[in-house]
Amino acid sequence: NAGVTQTPKFQVLKTGQSMTLQCAQDMNHNSMYWYRQDPGMGLRLIYYSASEGTTDKGEVPNGYNVSRLNKREFSLRLESAAPSQTSVYFCASGRAQRIYEQYFGPGTRLTVT
């Protein structure tokens, strides 16, 4: 039982490049989330998916897109990376009965130069 896995662990992009961050969970959770964490800050919600087939914007969605590929997988895409998107990205999942108890992946550290 791996929990929540994320790939890659580290990535460096040049401004304007695109990339997709991958996330998968094996806990059969309905809900999945993408957060970003900047130095000295709490986590901010980018997008979430309450169930397979649905996605919604969070607090800071600009510059990102998401795909809920199936119940297990939720990807985050940066179409044209900007230095302001330099951050650590965390994927999380949760079950409907205890939606506040989220399980987080190890994070992807992204630097945009």
Going by the DSSP 8-state scheme, the letter that residue 84 receives in this structure is G
Determine the Cα angle at 103 with ends 102 and 104, to 5°.
115
Phi-psi region of 69 (alpha: psi -120 to 50; beta: other; left: phi over 0): alpha
- Asked if 11 is part of the footprint of other proteins (rule: CB under 8 A), the reply reads no
Tokens of 39: 């130095």
Q: Residue 101 has which token pair?
A: 């108890």
Q: Is residue 33 involved in binding other proteins (CB under 8 A)? A: yes
- Residue 53 near other proteins by CB under 8 A: no
Determine if 90 is a binding residue for other proteins (CB under 8 A). yes
**Cβ-based nearer residue to other proteins, 23 or 112:** 23
Contact 88, 107 (CB under 8 A): yes
If one asks whether residue 76 binds other proteins (CB under 8 A), the answer comes out as no
Of the residues 44, 63, 65, 67, which one makes contact with other proteins according to CB under 8 A: 44
Min CB(17)–other proteins separation in Å: 25
Q: Which is nearer to other proteins, 82 or 99 (CB)?
A: 99
